[in-house]
Copies of this chain bind each other. A is one copy, B any other.
Amino acid sequence: MLSFRIIFLRKKVRGVKMERDNKVSITVIRRLPKYYRYLSDLLNKGITRISSQELSNMTGFTASQIRQDLNNFGGFGQQGYGYNVEELKSQLGKILGLDKIYKAVIAGAGNLGQAIANYRGFQDAGFEVLSLFDRNPRLIGIKIRDIEIRDIEELEPFIKENGVEIGIITVPKSSAQEIADIYVRSGIKGIWNFAPADIKVPDDVIVENVHLNESLFALSYFMNNKNDYIRRD
């Protein structure tokens, strides 16, 4: 009886997907970009239709998990037909916010900042990098793919004048909080942080951390504890 009730509640939640107030679990959200990436690859290969089983073979997730994941957002598949690749990609794109363009800046124009500025994934993700900023006079004025490196002193007025929404942090750990404070003061809404520090910002500012050292430690851990290793993509 209990399991019936749970199923019923789930269905109800699915039915009101547009006004859903239940949080989608972070692990589901983290899988969406992967689906999006695979769907893009399929479309590039001219494949227009795919079953959850075929998606399972590609991604390594189970077919049932895939159906559950996608059902969280309305369930676009049809029994016996599968998913329309283009439609699913476009729907996922909307969910991921890829149909909008966000203006971004990068603080820290060293190798990592330059690598990020050169990063081709930005267009796909709907981000446009307007400028890099650094305090090193030898870097100021140089262009990376037509993106100019400016003096860090100009960061705050530049953000305000240009309505920048995303701030990327590629400065050393010791300057990360200072940059985050400038971002918050200037009205930045989302921060992509590469510094190995947990920056403190108000609750309404989204922070996505890329802690490279933690990833490296995880690699080291699994080299030492092979039994704990489960292949994940």
Contact = CB atoms under 8 A, between A and B. Distances in A.
A125 interface: yes
Nearest to A114: B111
A206 interface: yes
A228 interface: yes
Nearest to A95: B221
B33 A217 contact: yes
A16 interface: no
A199 B166 CA distance: 30
Interface stretch (A45-53, A97-105, A153-161): A97-105
B192 A215 contact: yes
A229 interface: yes
A142 interface: no
Contacts of A192: 215-216, 219
A126 interface: yes
Contacts of A208: 215-216, 218-219, 222
Contacts of A43: none
A123 B23 CA distance: 40
A29 B127 contact: no
A214 B114 CA distance: 19
A149 to B, nearest CB: 13
B227 A33 contact: no
A230 B206 CA distance: 9
Contact of A216 (B127, B189, B227): B127
Contacts of A204: 226
A224 interface: yes
Interface of A: 21, 23-24, 26, 29-30, 32-34, 36-37, 95-98, 100, 102, 110-112, 114-115, 118-119, 121-122, 124-127, 165-166, 189-190, 192, 196, 198, 203-204, 206-233
